[in-house]
Amino acid sequence: MAATSKTGQNVRGALLTACGLLGIGGAQAQATEIKGAVLGYTEPDRVSAIETVVDVAHTFAGGQGLNFKLVYDGLTGASANGAVPWTDYQTFTRPSGAGSYQADPEQTPLDDTFRDSRVALSGGASLPWGRLSTVSAGLYGSGEHDYMSLGANLALSRDFNKRNTTVALRGAMFHDTINPEGGRPTPFGIMTPAGSELARLDGDGTKDIMDLGLSLTQTINRSTIAHLSYTFSQVDGYQTDPYKLLSVVNPETGAPGHYVFEKRPDSRAKHVLLAKLNHHLSRDIVRLSYRFMTDDWGVNSHTIDLEYRLKMGEHRYLEPSVRWYTQSEADFYRRFLLESEALPLDASADYRLGDMQTWAWGLKHGRRLGNGHDLTVRGVYYRQSGESHPAEAVGALRDLDLFPTVEAFIFQVGYSFGT
């Protein structure tokens, strides 16, 4: 992403105008930073996405700050609908109910009409509160054709120990609304043929999210900084994915008899612990982080990130990285349902709630240009795997891949400059 001098002046002028409207203008600007990035993501034969981000931050001489962020992303391709593969062709009704699509024998059923785009806008302000404290607040909004999210956040941080220790308390609230194509299907409602009536719930689905967090950042010495945080998240409301199905199969042969829509609990509490360590060597930088998440759905996850920034001269660096992630399955995760059993209270075949492991290997190149601007290029290879032949598989399902390995490639270009 490139920007001419005139364009940069226009953006900064607009930003200063906005500051004046908020009643913060009048002080001479201390610093302005503008960042842009374009990211491409593709899963071969599945989903592809492209995302564009513009991030503007402005700091005033008095220590006040403003930031604005705009995100646009578009997704297209084929998405797994949750049903199991089978030895013959399978036909599914599209979410709108107006058409149908087929899955080939022994292949994971994919809805090949997956299309979506999203615009997200967020902004915030930070103000010094005394000599050692800072208060910040922000607003967030995003919209898709079937989903809208609105949110607000507030944070307070304070420095101690000659500014070598920082403690921060933060909170956020979000209200989401979902209005899927054709309406929300009745939980465990049977998928009907295209063009026929399907029982649906009245109105839109809504959910409310509350996040509370506490963090500690400690300067250990001139070369090392450590960070530790805890976040509690409570989600209440409609959390079912209206586009996901479950296969109801014969307990002897494994043949799908019909398909039903999933149902998830309407409450979820999550606890997240995050630890980070940044260490500056004589030339290079090492960053290591560990994240643990547990919730009352039965999902426990562990994430380890390692990055090594290798300095190559005065204006360039290479940064290889590796990320490992593993999670246990949700209590209600079911790869399929049996015709001989009563319906459970909740059930979902969404692989994102299953027992899985992922690896991501990346390489980033950064360069300081002659005009003082920064250009970065990053590539990542991602691999996700799970239990392909679970012990509970029945009949011919034992010979089919019920959790195929997914590979993805990510490419990102970033550009930033400041004044």
pLDDT in single tens digits along all 419 residues of the chain: 333 333 333 333 333 333 333 333 333 446 999 999 999 999 998 999 999 999 999 999 888 999 999 999 998 988 999 999 999 999 999 888 888 999 999 999 998 877 789 999 999 999 999 999 999 999 999 999 899 999 999 999 999 999 999 999 999 999 999 999 889 999 999 999 998 888 899 999 999 999 999 999 999 999 999 999 999 999 999 999 999 999 999 999 999 999 999 999 999 999 999 999 999 998 999 999 999 999 999 999 999 999 999 999 889 999 999 999 999 999 999 999 999 999 999 999 999 999 999 999 999 999 999 899 999 999 999 999 999 999 999 999 999 999 999 999 999 999 999 87
In this predicted structure, what is the pLDDT of residue 113? 74
Handedness of CA 387, 390, 394, 398 (dihedral sign): positive
Nearest CA to 118 out of 44, 205, 50 is that of 50
Tell me the CA distances in angstroms from 78 to 114, 148, 197, 352, one per residue in order: 6, 22, 25, 16
Contacts of 343 (CB under 8 A, 6+ apart): 188, 260, 337
Residue 332 buriedness (CB in 10 A; 0-12 / 13-18 / 19+): middle
DSSP-assigned beta bridge partners for residue 308: 286
Rounded CA gap, 134 and 158, in Å? 6
In this predicted structure, what is the pLDDT of residue 14? 33
Q: What is the DSSP letter of 388?
A: S
In this predicted structure, what is the pLDDT of residue 77? 87
In angstroms, how far is CA 368 from the centroid of its own chain? Answer: 29
User: Sheet of 256-261: strands edge to edge?
Assistant: 256-261, 245-249, 337-338
* Residue 105, phi-psi category: left (phi > 0), alpha (psi -120 to 50), beta (remainder): beta
In this predicted structure, what is the pLDDT of residue 30? 67
pTM: 0.88
